[in-house]
Structure 1
Amino acid sequence: MIPATLYGHLLGDAYRRLPQRVAMLHARDGRRRYVGEVEVRRGASPLSRLCAWATRLPPAGAGPIHVDIDADRHGERWIRHVAGHAMPSRLRAHAGRLRERLGLVTFDFDLHVDAGQLRWSVAAVHVFGLPLPRGWFEGVEAIESERDGRYRFDVRATLPFAGLLVHYTGWLDVD
């Protein structure tokens, strides 16, 4: 059964191919909290630091993470808590894509289920409502998967002229 949630709506029949823990995380409405571990690497260039600030990316380091998700029929609000830093975002459907507002930047993602993974790839990016060249964001990708009975995430963002903005990987307990 495909849930009547944001991801169920966007993925349609592909939702059935999600790994169990990924499907569980995206099948629930209401408020919930997931806890786990994360490792964050950050870029060091001045432009990288400015971009990371504009999108409220987490600081470098390794340790606990907790993610608060509040989902309803209009979308989801995520707040990722890493090392005392909150990284909020708002997700909703827009023109058949997943739209995420992260700080000053709005991303539109195409979602693909492939080889037991949910992949997010950038389709469009706007800052203050102004479109940016999509080609600048070919180094931005998120992957959700399951391994050892845990929900796993791997998020990487690199930009031309800035280099690495962030690469964070880890797991959450999803039961």
Structure 2
Amino acid sequence: MHSGDGKGGSMDPTLFQQALGASFFRLPESLRQLHGVRGRARWTGVADIERGRNPLARLCARIAGLPKAGRDVSVTVDFVTNARGETWHRDFGGMRMTTRLALRRGLLRERLGPLQFRHALHANGGAIWWTVAGVRLFGVLPLPASLFQGVRCRECERDGRYRFEVQASLPLAGEVIRYEGWLEPA
């Protein structure tokens, strides 16, 4: 399900190609395929999701619109990409979560609920690592990046399949969410 958006040529680099440069092309095939989407694509898979039990962690997860805990949860991600960035429409077993991504000054900006994360992306050992470099509330109010040192993401390939691992822990709240799973083209 690929289609062009009429903006820019099909040879324009994707968001992740721009962010990672030449190291993008040394990544495993499944990562290059997922982050090489131009226009629209749908990927499906399964995830295991754990949520923190601390009341503050539950509140943070609710505010961010994070998925509920579950094992073998069906996952669908609809990718919509254009010259301005990417939108990921995720569905975790009926719980929808939308993320908007753009690249500015070499950092990947991710809007998730009221928070705007700035991630430094690194390709190393066949994986993409996301490191929080900054956070803003409502895109305006800067928050200390040190509060978000426990927010991590790793993308890799295992058995020829795209895999993701996301963990978010915060001071005082502890673990907010941890989820991992796999995706493949629908």
The 1-side partners of 2:97 and 2:33 are apart by 22
Equivalent residues of 1:3, 1:27 under 8 A apart: no
| Pair 1:160-2:180 in alignment | no
> Residue 89 of structure 1: which of 96, 99, 119 is its match?
99
Moved over 6 A (4+): none
Equivalent residues of 2:37, 2:79 under 8 A apart: no
TM-score, normalised via structure 1 length = 0.96
Residue in 2 aligned with 1:55? 64
The 2-side partners of 1:28 and 1:87 are apart by 19
Q: CA deviation at 1:83?
A: 1.9
Give, as a single letter, the amino acid of the residue that structure 2 aligns with 1:154: E
Alignment of 1:1-175 (within 5 A): 4-62=13-71, 63-128=73-138, 129-174=140-185
* Matched residue count: 174
Using the TM superposition, name which of 15-24 and 158-167 deviates more: 15-24
Q: CA deviation at 1:3?
A: 6.0
Report the 3-state secondary structure (helix = DSSP H, G, I; strand = E; otherwise coil) of the residue aligned with 2:20: helix
Report the 3-state secondary structure (helix = DSSP H, G, I; strand = E; otherwise coil) of the residue aligned with 1:21: helix
Equivalent residues of 1:21, 1:174 under 8 A apart: no
Equivalent residues of 1:151, 1:174 under 8 A apart: no
The 2-side partners of 1:68 and 1:56 are apart by 17
TM-score, normalised via structure 2 length = 0.90
Equivalent residues of 2:42, 2:185 under 8 A apart: no
Deviation by residue 1:12-62 (Cα, 9 ceiling, x = unmatched):
111122111001101121111101000000011111111111211111002
Provide structure 2 residue ranges, at least 5 long, that are not aligned to the other structure.
1-10
The 1:98/1:153 distance shift into structure 2, 3 A limit, reads: same
Report the 3-state secondary structure (helix = DSSP H, G, I; strand = E; otherwise coil) of the residue aligned with 1:54: helix
Equivalent residues of 2:98, 2:112 under 8 A apart: yes
The 2-side partners of 1:77 and 1:60 are apart by 23
Give, as a single letter, the amino acid of the residue that structure 2 aligns with 1:31: R
The 1-side partners of 2:89 and 2:61 are apart by 16
Identity %: 44
Give, as a single letter, the amino acid of the residue that structure 1 aligns with 2:150: G
